[in-house]
Structure 1
Amino acid sequence: MSEYPTYETQKEWREIQSYLPQRLHFTPAHSPTEEVWHHDGHALHLDRWPNPSARVRLIMHHGMGTNGRMMSMLLGVPLHSAGFELVAIDMPGYGCTVPRKGYVWDFNDWVKISSAFVDHEYENDDRPIVLYGLSAGGGLTFCSAGLNGRVKGIIGMTFMDMRIQAVSDAACRNFFMSRIGAPSSRLMNTLGLGWFSLPMWLAGRMSTLVNNDQALQACYKDNRSANAWITMKFMADFITYKPAKEPAEFDVCPILLTQPAEDRWTPLWVSDMFLKDVTKVSVKKVMLDGAGHYPLEDPGLMQMSEAIVAFLKDIEETSV
């Protein structure tokens, strides 16, 4: 790890963690081990929470305003304490991952990386794998599961289809960005300007990431999460992405939506528009009281971990 960035010496995530309940803070018994997975020229950072006795494993995916360490901060301690094994992956452009030099990635690269990582994890270990995703990470888990076909469950904080104009209006920073800025990314990418980038907070409603002004300022300081930049190629692909299996065709695994009740970025109706067409697998929704988009608040945080533990235990029983 010495030649790659690590979270060990970074202060930004620690400041963000200070706004979470103390019971979620890392302890000597429950803390991640940092690793690097080399794939397709990328050095992909992993926060791994090993537990050889776990019967189910969870792979955690961040969105476009967070990173893998922020996933560990939410779920690492409660789920590891409950007996599960977890790993959080940083996608190119976020966290401590080092992308292939000179490569301009898009959302489809994220999907393919996620699916390839599932295959990688299954190579020498047949324990069932479930995917978790926050914000855009929720849709990422859906796309990855549909492509891969071996995932046993997906958990999302949001499932959004940016091809729906109302959803794009909600997700983008303002109407100008949703109606002109984001669609223009397709033209720029076609013209060979896919490498051009802008801060994600300029494209999306990053001001609604958390419902705490001081915590929001801490997030804005982090160049590896809320202050990350995205390219025109990525945006063009994200807003038009067609999954391997559309919601009406999805038959891979059960779905759990853990929806923050006070989410000002992607409220419940956004996920409802996506999930209403999913009829071939079970879909369960759990509301997280008092919680924002990246939840800092109880009882929502407790409700989230309880719902996920129950979901994972159900998969344990059906996978025997």
Structure 2
Amino acid sequence: MRTTSAPVHYRDQQAWRDLQQFLPARLRLTDDTAPEEEFWDWHGHRVHLDRYPNPTAKAKVVLHHGVGTNGRQMSLILGAPLARRGFETVALDNLGYGLTQVKPSTTPSYDDWVDLVVDFLAHEQSRDDRPIVLYGLSAGGMLAYHVAAKAPRGSLAGIVGMTFLDPRHRQVRDETAHDILTARLGIPLMGLMAKTPAASLKYPMSLAGKMSALANDPAAMKVFLNDRTSSANWVSIRFLDRYARYVPAVEPEDFDACPVLLTQPAEDRWSPHHLSLPVVSRITKVPVDTVMLDNAGHYPLEEPGLQQMQDAIADFVTEHTT
């Protein structure tokens, strides 16, 4: 969780500046090109937003991180590039991540993550009626699905996932957990602990998941694993239990809320393509497209995958919002 000594704004944080040195020069931000920073109050939590406002944009893209990243890292690889193409983009930090300030004496769960994004979409639609596409990286991809399944019909024009991982499937748990012991014994144990006062105890995500596979560049991984607002974060037993067991409002066979795009990194060492198939192969009532990102890791730092991702998402948003 964010500590009291952590910066309030990303303009005062060094971690993302260190990380972007591993990105192509065209994607590196300066103080002048960084997004505007806002806060949105949600049930006593102060949610941090990175926004590239564009009142003339025909569509908005809302960006969501995974369990090893944060909103500014989404702005780096997608928010800023899509903004330059004429879209309004907003990257949020969900509860416990980035620079969002969690209400004292609360222990948010994964259910709260879903509800927060559902309410954020309603908040954005109260500002104007432009169509919205929701993007999620890593665990954020499945969150995008969960949000689309739960939100009122018409809330989203489409969802994009950098993998769609359903932890209810044993193979997904086995291959994405830190180790097989965590997958087979740790998750049931957390289920028991979540029913006790121990639910509020914190556990490092780097020991829960295969965080070392987040990026394929070892030097970049050092930056990630030193960042308590992303990969070095600790989350509650309650959050991990609910993440592993969350049941969507609509199962994939019946999902018909909006079109779906999977942008799958071809060199993903954490969640390769086959782990998304238990979800996307069952979605048949709406269009589902897959674009492979050549040479790219789970958090993509590499070309041509980055360019392919940005092109595919820009085309998807344009196709489904005009």
What range describes the TM-score normalised by the shorter chain of this pair?
over 0.9
Task: Give aligned-pair identity as a percent.
Answer: 45
Unaligned stretches of 5+ residues in structure 2: 1-5
Shift of 1:26: 2.0
The aligned residue for residue 182 of structure 1 is: 187
The aligned residue for residue 88 of structure 1 is: 91
Residue identity opposite 2:204 in structure 1: P
The aligned residue for residue 164 of structure 1 is: 169
- Tell me, what secondary structure is at the counterpart of 1:123? helix
- Tell me, what secondary structure is at the counterpart of 2:99? coil
Shift of 1:70: 0.3
Residue identity opposite 1:270 in structure 2: L
Q: Does 2:100 align with 1:133?
A: no
The aligned residue for residue 274 of structure 1 is: 279
- Tell me, what secondary structure is at the counterpart of 1:130? strand
The aligned residue for residue 226 of structure 1 is: 231
The aligned residue for residue 36 of structure 2 is: 33
In structure 1, distance between residues paired with 2:74 and 2:250:
26
Q: Does 2:9 align with 1:9?
A: no
Superposition RMSD on alpha carbons, in Å? Answer: 1.2
Assess if the C-alpha contact under 8 Å between 2:63 and 2:79 holds in 1: no
In structure 2, distance between residues paired with 1:55 and 1:36:
23
Within-5 A mapping of 1:278-293 = 278-293=283-298
Shift of 1:4: 7.4
- Tell me, what secondary structure is at the counterpart of 1:86? strand
The aligned residue for residue 55 of structure 2 is: 52
The aligned residue for residue 110 of structure 1 is: 113
Assess if the C-alpha contact under 8 Å between 2:47 and 2:100 holds in 1: yes
TM-score using structure 1 length: 0.96
- Tell me, what secondary structure is at the counterpart of 2:271? coil
Shift of 1:30: 4.0
The aligned residue for residue 210 of structure 2 is: 205
Shift of 1:191: 2.2
Assess if the C-alpha contact under 8 Å between 1:182 and 1:236 holds in 2: yes
The aligned residue for residue 101 of structure 1 is: 104
The aligned residue for residue 191 of structure 1 is: 196
> Over residues 80-116 of structure 1, what are the superposed CA-to-partner deviations in whole Å (9 max), with x where a residue is unaligned?
1110000000011100000111100110000000000
> Over residues 253-295 of structure 1, what are the superposed CA-to-partner deviations in whole Å (9 max), with x where a residue is unaligned?
0000000000000000011121111011100000000000000
Aligned length: 315
In structure 2, distance between residues paired with 1:156 and 1:191:
34
The aligned residue for residue 3 of structure 2 is: none
- Tell me, what secondary structure is at the counterpart of 1:305? helix
